A and B are shown apart, each in its own frame.
Chain A
Amino acid sequence: MTQSMRVTYREALRQGLRDALLQDPRVFVMGEDVGRYGGTYAVTKGLLEEFGEERIRDTPLSESAFVGAGIGAALNGMRPIVEVMTVNFSFLALDQIVNNAATLRHMSGGQLSVPVVIRMTTGGGRQLAAQHSHSLEGWYAHVPGLRILTPATHEDARGMLLSAVLDPDPVLIFEHALLLNVEGDIDEQSHPVDIDRAAVRRSGRDVSLITYGGTLGKTLAAASALAQAGIDAEVLDLRTLRPLDTAAIVATVGKTRRAVIVDEGWRSGSISAEIMARINEHAFYDLDAPVARVCSEEVPLPYPQHLEEAALPQVDKIVHAARRVSAGRA
């Protein structure tokens, strides 16, 4: 019987890193300011003191070199966990991630394995403007060979790290910055979690709200508001954007016959577009209404609070979209 404990999302991530470091001597952590500074977002605070400089490695501001070094170390028998400060900075290492990590197993005829974990923060809402706020996990989800994880709960924030380290393929973990201070419960015992399947976070009959990562909280809040208006929403947390759990998407749409996708990414060419396409391919005849989306507005995220709020998915927009989709319900 396990006890649960109350932690912030940040602490859950840190606990996940500790679990991995304690379980496997091949695991080490590297990235900008993960050691002395204690982590840009304080996720790695205290790890340097606990595990030492060999395993908690501060790197120069050389995203391509240290992400590539993580890939090389993984090819050579280690289990590196690389921290990139934010998704926008990860583009400096895009070549290493897309041209090397994602391709090497297939291109080598199955000889190579790249068990690297690359973590980064994602998402807006902190008035950090257009080079620190975007949600581009959907871009990475385009690439075969990568696993894309978006932990939205505390249990996933911790458990996905261990699961990612155990996975033989490159895994990218996107941690929404607004979640870091949010409190929630996790088991005292460490354990890996399933990283193949989506999870229903709220069961409902009338409309499916499909989301992941940082917008799960807003989506659940929208579901509560909808309940007061007599609409019973189901909330599906995708958890993993690649491979995408198509069966879970089809199942929830088959049940409610209506769907709204909530995605902090831009709408054009996005993961929300992919989900709509899958619904179209697999569940077209189950639908009672066109599928709707709530995405970020198609602008670089602006600095002023009122404009940033207007650009991001918000509870009222989700409620509005769900009501529109539910209009004319039998």
Chain B
Amino acid sequence: MTALTPVEARQLLWQMTRIRRFEEKCIELYSAGKIRGFMHLYNGEEAIAAAVMPELRDDDNVLATYREHGHALARGVPANAVMAELFGKREGCSRGRGGSMHLFDVSRRFFGGNAIVAGALPMAAGFGLADRLRKQDHVTACFFGEGAVAEGNFHESANLAALWKLPVLFLCENNLYAMGTAIERSEADTDLCEKARSYRMRAEPVDGMGVLAVRDAARDAVDYVRRGNGPMFLELKTYRFRAHSMFDPELYRSKAEVDGWKKRCPIDRFRREGIAAGLFGAADLADIERRIDAEIEAAVAYAEAGTWEPVEQLTDDVYARRPVEDGSSR
């Protein structure tokens, strides 16, 4: 493990806790009917987004899935804009049109928010191709779940990225369940790194519940990809503490299993380790919680005060040039 300063330690703890508190607030707001649609929470997996994003530069590209609140927040999309998006308000980071599954912020090179499993992987290869053709040393970080490994798009994209040595970092968040299907019930070979290696891509398994393990692996992988060695694959072994979405009765796994994983909570663990190592004390922890509470409270107020996009703008942005005659007027 590379050195950890108290400042970085507090930053990591703050980011993980912030994502957790944000998600907890989302549950409350969902129950209150403020947030609608499909919503997928990141509880339990926070170490990954919190530790990977600081290893990326502002000019790198990030693509994520429909379970991306944490990625957006960690990438720097303001909590206000994320919360307003969940409310469907015009002040949201996608103008309210995307909702929970489709967060975008081009100014931070955060390109969604894709709700088709493995749907972003081909595009990630294209982002890498564009950077390679222009001789830019940008990295494209593409997050996806282990369910995506069963899709053809994973295999086609991995092959293309390796064949053309594209600067793409494939970040597989293996939370063991594709919705309700356990990995051993869907993969003939559950060693995901082996699949990536079969495309001659460097691949490493990582303890996704350990924020420092993720940080170190991401630092090494980003450096490897940025140096022009081609793509790399990280399997981040993790677990989601909540159901797949708000509509999931969780009939496919036992409470004992979930409770067992909760004992490995990345936030609790890092808090304990940090206190033991003298990286932060009680006052720091209280300060972190206070700042997060204030930020989330402000985000909810911002979203509440947000406005609805006027219906007259319903068909804006379907095309850059509005069609001369689209026949929709009658």
Contact = CB atoms under 8 A, between A and B. Distances in A.
A67 B128 CA distance: 14
Interface string A83-121: 000000000000110011000111111111100000000
Interface residues of B, number: 49
Contacts of A69: 122-123, 125-126, 129, 157, 160
22 contacts: A65-B121, A65-B125, A65-B156, A68-B119, A70-B126, A72-B127, A73-B130, A76-B127, A77-B134, A95-B153, A96-B119, A100-B116, A105-B319, A107-B94, A108-B98, A109-B93, A111-B106, A147-B319, A196-B324, A243-B324, A245-B325, A278-B327
Interface in B84-122: 92-98, 102, 104-106, 111-112, 114, 116, 119, 121-122
Contacts of A112: 104, 106, 111
Contacts of B163: 60
B126 A68 contact: yes
Contact of B94 (A59, A96, A108, A147): A108
A73 B133 CA distance: 10
B184 interface: no
Contacts of B94: 107-109, 111
Contacts of B127: 72-73, 75-76
In the A-B complex, list the 3 residue pairs whose CB atoms are closest, starting with the nearest.
A68-B122, A72-B126, A109-B95
A191 interface: no
Nearest to A78: B130
B325 A108 contact: no
Nearest to A145: B318
A322 B326 CA distance: 27
Nearest to B125: A69
Contact of A197 (B116, B126, B324, B326): B324
B101 to A, nearest CB: 10
B318 A106 contact: yes
Given A68-B123, A106-B317, A243 B326 contact: yes
Interface of A: 28, 54, 59-60, 62, 64-78, 80, 95-96, 99-100, 104-113, 144-145, 147, 167-169, 196-197, 243-247, 278, 281-282
Contacts of B92: 109
B174 interface: no
B263 interface: no
B152 interface: yes
Given A72-B124, A75-B126, A105 B119 contact: no
Given A68-B153, A99-B116, A109 B97 contact: yes
Contacts of B65: none
Given A60-B160, A109-B94, A111-B105, 20 more contacts: A68-B121, A68-B122, A68-B126, A69-B125, A72-B129, A78-B130, A95-B153, A96-B122, A100-B123, A106-B97, A107-B112, A108-B95, A109-B104, A145-B319, A147-B319, A168-B320, A243-B323, A243-B324, A245-B324, A247-B325
A127 B98 CA distance: 45
B29 to A, nearest CB: 21
B274 to A, nearest CB: 37
Contact of B123 (A62, A75, A113, A145): A75
Contacts of A74: 126
Contacts of A99: 116, 119
A67 B160 CA distance: 12
A68 B111 CA distance: 14
A260 to B, nearest CB: 20
B127 to A, nearest CB: 5
Contacts of A107: 94, 97-98, 102, 104, 112
Contacts of B133: 28, 54, 73, 78
A28 B330 CA distance: 40
Nearest to B104: A108
A111 B93 CA distance: 9
Interface string B228-263: 000000000000000000000000000000000000
Contacts of A77: 130, 134
B320 A113 contact: yes
Contacts of B114: 100
Contacts of B134: 77-78
B122 A144 contact: no
A65 B153 contact: yes
Contacts of A104: 112
A243 B131 CA distance: 32
B160 A168 contact: no
